Structure 1
């Protein structure tokens, strides 16, 4: 039977119509919204329950076009208004489209825009009339044929564009969510965005919720280009966090690798990673209570650095979140035991834990010393393999050559466990890898997550090439084309659009003498500025709303004359008084260095659009789809290949 969510978009639209509001205001409206679940399809019938935005229910008949919809909540049958519930579906493959079966056009009311949906996109059906459904998808409202909507969800892996770092949001077919890493903190991001912002978009815009709900938040290891975005998600109350649109946050579990940064307390400690014995780090972080104890400076073991502050914020802001260390023991590998799983027996998708590999030292799990601090933190990253029917997806953290050699030795003849259809490349395309290990991975598609101006020259050309030559080769002889291997780079998928500044308009400028006027700063000579740049977006919209052509023409000419006079006046004053205008800005250089500079307004260019370098990987367990958005932001570039396990 169909699944339903409580949503009331029409009520939300009416409430905010003709009002000035923020997206945060929408979240508060959603959180406060309630609707009645009646015994019968009658406004005066007994109320069985009061339902809230985000509640889930079963819809035995799905969504129709009648005013009332039948539902089941906690085993109890009743009725609620159709416009207070949506039926959940997923974009199916269009079997009638031989050219683009993995995308379908959402019919928008505004013909100026187009929006192509992607196989597996979540569809919220608000009304069904014959074969045509009114839907909400990716935050857009439109129409979609009912035969394009199925009930079966895919395994959906989003390789988030976080610049230098990693960020992966996984939606499992049963609806669980795992956020694996989140990139650098916003303060160190050139775009000012990281994994926290993508997750916020996913829940607020795509799902239409006010709450972010993650079943797992996982830090593959304790480097800030992996946990920084997670920290931005948890460090503040979402209600007051101006960067987030959602106002509530729930995280079930925090998974970590165990290796942490510690206050040095004796000669046995090394590199701030804790005490060593028999060439192994013996102090690994464990559960929530252990983390709480280790925040105390008087404790035998005390956490240190930004990692400590991050964990402290999780503990203080998320009192119900459990802590769980992730790993596999070398003893179990030698004994031929099954790989450990996260959430065993709860999903058709198995989450196998492949690393870090621990060894029993004096009855405690310990991690081998692989070298310096960076080599150890990177090398002991969490490594997962997602098994979904015939598909295998490998998520590797920042494994390096030292850890790859160690893992190969620990796995022995079980090293084929790393063989996969899709792999997230180790350590952003660093040259510090084992080519033999890449041969064991033998991926059909490799995704490299890297950033701009990071100081490491990632991804290295030899690693990009190695990802291809060690990948699984599949050639279509009929079409004479390469199917796999594929190599994706978020840095390549990312792009920007630049615009040339003509002038800066200041409205209602107060000169300090009681005079309020519009002013302008010119970046070009007045003669170079086209009339097309005179009007603001609001003025263009108001102009387009005028139906009478003569009235529209007269209004346009009046606005253009006003702006022409203003620009001519400002140009004369600027020359007379030698006015100079400079941008003052800050920028991120080489990850952790923030510098400040100025640039003259004259003949400057600005970033008008940052094209997001997200790589979508989706599978039904039989077919793997890799998709990236085309630069105009509406269509998709898609590659598909069969799962081979």
Structure 2
């Protein structure tokens, strides 16, 4: 018995069998999945993988640790978990808070599963937590993870955050009317001049009567951030990011590691102080437009994470990077703003990704992803055709990858009685229905006979993995829980 050796799956997929012999399968593993070796055998070895124990063909255990990027299905919003080959983890955004989610789940739950069930650890350790910008459909899941009052929601016992990063644009209390705003701008209205910075600055802005003072849910979230601690028990440092950083601290690619380039937001010095683009009078144009823009480089592979960039910010970035637009080219792009049509076609063309992943939601008010943007993601993508078949571009949507299993009630069984199907039409139920992002649920009343039962839910998570040369994109097959895998080669 050996419980200290970690192996990695080396084939595209591999079966986790019930026994050392036979064909009964527990689940299917994916390239790069870690398998904790429990018992070596002549043809199959006993391992623990994805929270399950079973047997894997020895030929499948010759893999290596990969760069893994999980685009998590959070409905309307973004949630991303990154694991580097040297076992460092970064969480970027988390979707709306659980209280605003129709499913009651967000990225915090996936991250908890990853550490507690997949890894078998009692501590979630994040080397970096990043809020791409200050909209609730991005930071809500981060707040749920940080909120110690919600520890009962998690299987892991502790959370450690080595560093927290943000975009600088924040929700402030307007001293003139007490409403929320993004702070003052330059005289020509082209630059936002009141930026959130370090932890000490945040703490000062959380105090009653402070000027400037953080506002509303964003203030509550930052209060949770300021209570976070590192693995050493120190306070978690808080820092604003911009293109002037060059690289995310600690991720400059030294020694062949993953490099994470900070391409945005674009910072300018104005009257000796930092300032960010002001794109329009509408606050959402500025929160979205100043999203943190990151590019992950591993070997030859490039993955671009774009937050909620919009047309105005994309056009500004094209100007900011005039002569250096090659910085945006990538193998995989996380689509801007959930497939909104507020997108510059020229900017998409500058990315030229082989794969686009759209983190889209259910809210009919947003109607994401928009058909024109799905088309634009294809027409601007890198075209590769082999044997009369399209290899790339590929376009994924977390919403399309999601599914539910619905069933019709047959009997209602209570402790003292079983109600047959004919009686179900007489039984009425009142339900609270929460649309994505809504603060309060709406109530509806239906008969039990006319109500469908959700018997299962398959989340639309998209796996991106690479060794620096080969890239796979994988989603879970909703019928038999096998993986649907597409493989490409990096072109950089």
> What TM-score, normalized to structure 1?
0.72
Contact 1:178 1:214 in 2 (8 A): yes
Note if 1:322 corresponds to 2:237: yes
The equivalences for 1:250-261 within 5 A come to 250-261=160-171
Cα distance between partner residues in 2 of 1:178 and 1:323: 15
**1:605 maps onto 2:437 in alignment:** no
CA shift digits 1:108-160 (9 cap, x unpaired): 14966541111011111112234432101111111113332236200000000
Aligned to 1:369: 278
The answer to whether the 8 A contact 2:472-2:488 is kept is yes
| 3-state SS, counterpart of residue 404 of structure 1 | helix
Partner residue in 2 for 1:39? none
Q: Is the 8 A contact 2:228 2:235 kept in 1?
A: no
Q: Once the 2 structures are TM-superposed, how far is the Cα of residue 346 of structure 1 from its aligned partner?
A: 6.5
Say which of 33, 50, 55 aligns to 1:138.
50
- The answer as to whether partners of 2:17 and 2:25 remain within 8 angstroms in 1 is no
Q: CA 1:175–1:349 in structure 2 vs 1: closer, same or farther (change >3 Å)? A: same
Aligned match of 1:551: none
Residue 456 of structure 1 corresponds to which residue in structure 2? 366
Q: Which residue of 1 aligns with 2:136?
A: 224
Aligned to 1:273: 182
The aligned counterpart of 2:432 is 586
1:139-178 equivalences under 5 Å are 139-150=51-62, 152-178=64-90
Computing the radius of gyration over CA atoms, which structure comes out larger, 1 or 2? 1
Which of 268, 283, 296 in structure 2 is aligned with 1:359? Answer: 268
What is the deviation of 1:236? 2.2
Higher RCO (C-alpha under 8 Å, 6+ residues apart): 2
Match in the other structure for 2:258: 349
Alpha-carbon offset, residue 406 of structure 1 = 0.8
Larger mean CA deviation between 154-163 and 599-608 belongs to 599-608
2:402 matches 1:521: no
CA distance in 2, matches of 1:155, 1:317: 26
1:91 aligns with 2:2: no
Classify the secondary structure of the residue corresponding to 1:285: coil
Alignment length, in residue pairs?
480
Residue 380 (structure 1) aligned with residue 290 (structure 2): yes
CA distance in 1, matches of 2:309, 2:148: 31
Q: Which moved more, 1:151-160 or 1:191-200?
A: 151-160
Q: 1:271 to 1:413 in 2, by over 3 A?
A: farther
CA distance in structure 2 between the partners assigned to 1:495 and 1:467 by the alignment? 23
Q: Per-residue deviation at 1:635?
A: 0.6
Deviation at 1:611, TM superposition (A): 1.0
Q: Deviations over 1:522-569 (max 9, x none)?
A: 3x23xxxxxxxxxxxxxxxxxxxxxxxxxxxxxxxxxxxxxxxxxxxx
Cα contact 1:425–1:448 (8 A) shared by 2? yes
1:526-605 equivalences under 5 Å are 580-589=426-435, 591-592=437-438, 593-605=440-452
Q: How many Å separate the matches in 1 of 2:358 and 2:132? A: 16
Counterparts of 2:49 and 2:284 in 1: how far apart (Å)? 42
SS at match of 2:103: coil
**Residue 382 of structure 2, aligned match among 462, 468, 472:** 472
In 2, the alpha carbon distance for the partners of 1:506 and 1:416 equals 64
Q: Which runs of 5+ in 1 are unaligned?
A: 1-64, 66-81, 94-101, 330-337, 508-517, 526-570
Q: Is the 8 A contact 1:455 1:591 kept in 2?
A: no
| Secondary structure of 2:121 counterpart | coil
Q: Matched residues in 2 for 1:104 and 1:324: separation?
A: 41
**Whole-angstrom distance in 1 between the partners of 2:338 and 2:481:** 28
- Residue 185 of structure 1 is matched in structure 2 by 97
Q: CA deviation at 1:462?
A: 0.2
Residues 1:392 and 1:259: Cα distance change in structure 2 (over 3 Å): same
Distance 1:413 1:322 in 2: 35
Equivalent position to 1:505, from 410, 413, 423: 413
Describe the SS at the equivalent of 2:400: helix
Q: What is the DSSP-based 3-state SS (H/G/I as helix, E as strand, rest coil) of the residue aligned with 1:276?
A: coil
Pick from 236, 239, 246: which aligns with 1:339? 246
Once the two structures are TM-superposed, the CA of residue 437 in structure 1 deviates from its matched residue by: 0.4
- 1:412-431 superposed matches below 5 A: 412-431=322-341
Counterparts of 1:469 and 1:183 in 2: how far apart (Å)? Answer: 28
Rounded to whole Å, the distance in 2 between the matches of 1:295 and 1:301 is: 9
Task: Give the match's secondary structure for 1:482.
Answer: strand
C-alpha deviations, 1:404-431, integer Å up to 9, x for none?
0111111111112100000000000000
CA apart distance, 1:615: 0.4
Note the aligned Cα RMSD (angstroms).
2.0
For structure 2, the residue ranges without an aligned partner over 5 or more in a row are none
1:395 aligns with 2:305: yes
Q: Residues of 1 paired with 2:25 and 2:47: CA distance?
A: 16
Partner of 1:291: 202
581 and 242 in structure 1: CA distance in 2 versus 1, 3 angstrom threshold: farther
Query: What is the CA distance between 1:521 and its match in structure 2?
Result: 3.0
Give, in whole Å, the separation in 1 of the partners of 2:107 and 2:164.
16
Q: Which moved more, 1:421-430 or 1:305-314?
A: 305-314
The alpha carbon displacement at 1:590 in A equals 5.3
* 1:310 and 2:228 are equivalent in the alignment: no
Distance 1:346 1:265, change over 3 A: farther
Corresponding residue to 2:477 among 608, 626, 630: 630
Q: What does residue range 64-83 of structure 1 map to in structure 2 within 5 Å? A: 65=1, 82=2
Q: Is the 8 A contact 1:114 1:634 kept in 2?
A: no
Corresponding position: 1:484 with 2:392: yes
- CA distance in 2 between counterparts of 1:191 and 1:407 reads 36
Instruction: Name the SS for the 2:40 alignment partner.
Output: strand
Q: Deviation at 1:582?
A: 1.7
